[in-house]
Amino acid sequence: MNANPLLDFSGLPRFSEFRVEHVTPAVDRLLEENRRLVSTLTDSPAAPTLVADGVSGLPGAASERPFSGHASGLWEAFVTPLEEANERLSRAWGQVAHLNAVMNSPELREAYNANLSKVTQYYAEISQHQGLYRQFKKLRALPEFDGLAPARKKVVENALRDFRLGGAELPEAQRVRYMEISERLAALSSRFSDNLLDATNAYARWAKSPAEVAGLPEDVLAAARQAAEAEHRDGWKFTLHAPSYLPVMQYADNGSLRQDLYRAYGTRASEWGPAKWDNTALIAEILRLRQEEARLLGFAHYTDLSLQTKMARSPREVLEFLSELAAKARPYALRDLQEVADFAQQRLGLRELEPWDLAYASEKLRLERYAFSEQEVKQYFPEPRVLLGMFRLVESLYGIRVEAAQTQVWHPDVRFFRVIESSGVEAGGFYLDPYARTSKRGGAWMDDAVGRRRRRDGVQHPVAYLNCNFAAPVGGKPALFTHDEVITLFHEFGHGLHHLLTRVDELGVSGINGVEWDAVELPSQIMENFCWEWEVLRGMTGHVDSGAPLPRELFDKMRAAKNFQIGLQTLRQIEFALFDLKLHWDFDPQGDKTALDLLNEVRRQVAVWFPPDYERFPHGFSHIFAGGYAAGYYSYKWAELLSADAYSLFEERGVLSAEVGGKFRDEVLGMGGSRPALESFAAFRGRGPSIDALLRHSGMA
């Protein structure tokens, strides 16, 4: 067994043995081995005659026996060893990046950032490597290429596209500049994320009297008291982490408490706080570099570059989609806002509906109109019941079994599960890290730990990370989820299923790999729909005290309130999507206008509700400045259209139909990125997508 756990690829990661001092030696060794292999595959006179029979799994181990000249021979001699080497680096660095996101510490952050530039430089080198590019073009030009399996052909086509987008066709000086931009953008994105986490962790609002915390649910108060006791203080501690922040905004009767947290949250990582965490300059530089990168590659705007790997064909098509949806949603948003404003004035005595009042007044209105609160519902969703019900659902739809298993994890709260096929064969596994903590970045996300591919000794099973930021258990009771949190969990599990249930054996297009970014949310969003089905919920609920299932009467109220304020919610998502689109399309990052100026322009065009002038939403918009959604945030609404239309087949044939579930697995989940997403959708639905189901599901038909 390798002394450095990052260099052991024989099984699951050895998280409990990980030390920060393992990072640099592992990265340096893998980079050296990979560069040596690339040289062997491209620079030596014998390169075209390499075959993979002698590859031991270590880079550079290919033998130099005669190459037959066929596409399959070149694949095994060239693509396979290159893929294996890059996968080793990806798996090792992936563990480091994952731990930096979920167990952040000063020492790990320093090691991560110190090695990030080296890893980024390597991938930039690979994306421009002339020898590799020639080999892929040679493979594509062989007469036998058309005889390759579709997945292999897609890998090659994607590789050629990525070489072009990686600067392989640029003159030497411009290739060097492209690499500099890539390294700088990676560093800036990491810094953006670090600043946001530090600014979030730095804030605390203390409350000492019961009057200050009136209206807050008991479990929220218990967690806040526990947080205060951990620092040997009396009273309650509230933070900007979601399990603390969101309930305050929704339930706290104390308007001053709501206002304080609202302002702190809305100004994180901005000029309103410590200069060391201010993301203002980072945003400007990121935008300038993205524009320069796009123009180096011959695109007028970064959006044009971004759409090369998406379903949408042009910025104009995205703009028209968002504009059509905004026009549909605006009347509903105006109605929603007027209703809550009238209610706040007449029933709550709030003459002016301030931004920190909106969630609070909306919850009170929901309670009066539908006679239930989210806190009431929450008691029926203890974590063990939710997980059991979610697993039962996918077992019935996809013919699989989910079993708890033991392996090394990075935190005591983390659990590992194996996914077993009906035949008894293992399909893959996933880690579940459900709770918020100060060392973990906010939000919820899925990431891949291991991808599926066929090795010489059999199929390598995929493994996923599922990460959420729910409130941890308090007082000996299990964690309780709101219905929105149940939806979030189902969403991330949908991403996980996309990764785990693939049947494609080529790593580059198995699971989520190679899937167009604006289609990657389809499997996750289709899972959300099941959270509104009585057939599903009745089997996954049980009151935390009595064990009684969710009453049908309460479920009916939840269904009636499903589209409560859907207009406001839809316009808010469109606001973010349009801001992102225009920021990377017709915005001049060299000009006098700032990103915040542009956001305010977008709001004046589509919004009906406006935050205070001090709000700095862009400074916390990690999706586009520290994630993969730059010029792609529209994907959430784009994929929601796909998922609503796809789910309508379940509605037509039966929500728990194993036949429809099997078809969705075969044509969407199983296919991964081995063919265009639109082809997979049409193969499942029998036609192209339509907006009708989305409007119907949203109550805007």
Residues 36 and 133 in one domain: yes
Do 88 and 207 share a domain, yes or no? Answer: no
413 shares its domain with 504? yes
Residue 665 domain-assigned?
no
DSSP annotation of 667: I
pLDDT at 59: 38
Rg (alpha carbons) of the chain, rounded to whole number: 26
Q: Which of 15-24, 71-80, 143-152 has the lowest mean pLDDT?
A: 71-80
Answer yes or no: is 695 within a domain: no
The percent of residues in the chain predicted with pLDDT above 70, rounded, is 96
**Averaged pLDDT for residues 183-195:** 97
Query: Does 219 lie in the same domain as 163?
Result: no
Q: Say yes or no: 258 and 390 in one domain.
A: no
pLDDT at 202 over 50: yes
**CA-CA distance, 352 to 344, in Å (whole number)?**
8
For 573-600, b where at least 16 C-beta lie within 10 A, e where not — what string?
bbbbbbbbbbbbbebebeeeebbbebbb
Same domain, 12 and 160: yes
Mean pLDDT, the chain, integer: 94
CATH number where 479 lies: 3.40.390.10
pTM: 0.93
**415 and 471: one domain?**
yes
Same domain, 155 and 257: no
Question: Looking at the structure, do residues 490 and 402 belong to the same domain, yes or no?
Answer: yes
The answer to the question of residue 637 being in a domain is no
Instruction: Return the structure tokens found at 419.
Output: 């996914």
Going from the C-alpha of 698 to that of each of 158, 438, 484, 578, the distances in angstroms are: 36, 35, 16, 20
Confidence of residue 351 (pLDDT cuts 50, 70, 90): very high
Residue 190 lies in a domain: no
Where a domain ends, among 223, 252, 267? 267
- Of 211, 239, 267, which residue constitutes the final position of a domain? 267
Q: Compute the average pLDDT of residues 399-404.
A: 97
Residue 100 domain-assigned (yes or no): yes
Is residue 586 in a domain?
no
pLDDT at 44 (0 to 100): 53
Q: What is the pLDDT of residues 578-604, one digit of tens each?
A: 999 999 999 999 999 999 999 999 999
Range of the domain at 437: 383-529
Active site residues: 492
- Between CA 60 and CA 149, with CA 77 as vertex, the angle to 5 degrees is 135
> Between the CA of residue 509 and those of 152, 176, 261, 380, what are the distances in Å?
8, 29, 44, 40
d(CA 616, CA 154): 42
Q: Looking at the structure, do residues 104 and 217 belong to the same domain, yes or no?
A: no
Domains contained in the chain, number: 3
Name 236's Cβ contacts closer than 8 Å, sequence gap at least 6.
206, 207, 208, 212, 213, 221, 224, 225, 227, 228
214 within some domain? yes
Is 519 contained in some domain? Answer: yes
Residues 67 and 152 in one domain: yes
Final residue belonging to a domain, choices 529, 554, 571: 529
My answer on whether 15 and 161 are in the same domain is yes
Single out the residue of 646, 623, 430, 589 nearest to residue 517, CA to CA. 623
pLDDT score of 69 more than 60: no
